[in-house]
């Protein structure tokens, strides 16, 4: 039996949460990073998967959803986790659980966790913190018990169907050419191929999902959100989502 950590994590926080959860398990572990992996893969009845997805405006990111749909189980035990920036989970966790069930995974548990917001950096600073990590570890112990008992998920998952419509954020992602060293890392990490192969300073905003992968991989801090829409929304959003929200667990 092995554990496969499956995640789509442009800013790295969802990967961290999945890693924290997996660290309580003793089985051999593998990684399936959907930021790069885009192919079919089938899991066996003896496998366990921990699937982590970020929340983009109440949904699983469209590209992550398309890639996740290529993964199939064989009554494979699955733990579903969505990770959000202290704003709204929306329909994302229900969507994730639905996809896994439809693709023949046996979902045994689910959770929504909180991390530092990937766009508005004044929200949920330092999350997941020690308190979050302790709760994730306690959840992991209960997940192991569920796997050993053979029980499936019993809790009702919040959310609605049809899911909320996808939204394209109006914010501009720009590159400061004076800081860019033309390492081309942003090009290699962009899941939408929105950055031209020969010009990392440019970006196709119609294709860009604002996932933040290019921003977080840039060691020169050359890439960022800019523009009037972003600057106007930032203080409003940070004020509206300043109250601490807690992770929620479903067994």
Taking the domains of the chain in order of start, what are their residue ranges?
2-162+246-250, 172-235
Residue 214 per-residue DSSP state: H
Give Cα separations from 175 to 24, 57, 208, 225 (angstroms). Answer: 40, 24, 14, 9
pLDDT at position 1 is 81
Prediction pTM value: 0.95
Burial of 212 (0-12, 13-18, 19+ CB in 10 A): buried
Residue 141 near residue 24, CB atoms below 8 Å: yes
Q: Any idea which residue has 């405006």 for tokens?
A: 57
Q: What is the pLDDT along the chain (251 residues), one digit of tens a residue?
A: 899 999 999 999 999 999 999 999 988 999 999 999 999 999 999 999 999 999 999 999 999 999 999 999 999 999 999 999 999 999 999 999 999 999 999 999 999 999 999 999 999 999 999 999 999 999 999 999 999 999 999 999 999 999 999 988 999 999 999 999 999 999 999 999 999 999 999 999 999 999 999 999 999 999 999 999 999 999 999 999 999 999 999 99
Condensed to tens digits (0 to 9), the pLDDT of residues 11-56 reads 999 999 999 999 999 889 999 999 999 999 999 999 999 999 999 9
DSSP string, 43-87: --TT-EEEEEEE-BTTB--HHHHHHHTTEE-SSEEEEEEEEE-SS
Q: Does CATH place domain 2-162+246-250 in 3.40.50.360? A: yes
pLDDT at position 240 is 97
Task: Report the C-alpha gap between 139 and 135 in whole angstroms.
Answer: 6
Question: Which residue, among 86, 82, 129, 91, has the nearest Cα to 110 in the 3D structure?
Answer: 82
Q: Any idea which residue has 């003896």 for tokens?
A: 46
Cβ contacts of residue 201 below 8 Å, gap of 6+? Answer: 175, 177, 180
Q: Any idea which residue has 């192919």 for tokens?
A: 39
Residue 148 per-residue DSSP state: H
Q: Any idea which residue has 């394209």 for tokens?
A: 168
Give the helix/strand (H/E) hosting 215: helix 213-217
The CATH class of 172-235 is alpha beta
For CA atoms 2, 31, 164, 140, give the dihedral sign: positive
Residue 66 near residue 99, CB atoms below 8 Å: no
Q: Is the peptide bond before 52 cis (omega within 30 degrees of 0)?
A: no
pLDDT at position 224 is 96
């Amino acid at each position: 039996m092995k554990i496969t950590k499956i995640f789509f994590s442009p800013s790295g926080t969802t990967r961290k949460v999945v890693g924290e959860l997996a660290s309580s398990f003793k089985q051999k572990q593998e990684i399936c990073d959907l930021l790069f992996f885009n192919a079919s893969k089938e899991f066996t009845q003896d496998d366990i998967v921990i699937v982590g997805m970020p929340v983009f405006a109440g949904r699983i990111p469209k590209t992550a959803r398309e890639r996740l749909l290529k993964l199939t189980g064989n009554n494979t035990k699955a733990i579903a986790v969505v990770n959000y920036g202290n704003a709204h989970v929306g329909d994302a966790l229900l969507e994730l659980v639905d996809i896994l069930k439809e693709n023949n995974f046996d979902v045994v548990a689910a959770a929504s966790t909180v991390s530092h917001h990937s766009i508005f950096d004044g929200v949920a600073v330092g999350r997941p913190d020690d308190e979050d990590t302790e709760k994730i570890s306690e959840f992991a112990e209960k997940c192991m018990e569920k796997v050993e008992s053979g029980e499936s998920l019993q809790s009702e998952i919040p959310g609605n169907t049809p899911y909320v419509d996808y939204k394209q954020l109006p914010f501009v992602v720009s590159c400061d050419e004076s800081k860019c060293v033309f390492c081309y890392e942003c090009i290699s990490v962009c899941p939408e191929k929105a950055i031209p192969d020969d010009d990392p300073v440019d970006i196709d905003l119609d294709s860009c999902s604002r996932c933040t992968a290019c921003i977080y991989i840039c060691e020169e801090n050359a890439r960022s959100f800019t523009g009037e829409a972003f600057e106007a929304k930032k203080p409003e959003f940070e004020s509206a989502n300043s109250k601490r929200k807690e992770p929620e667990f479903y067994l």
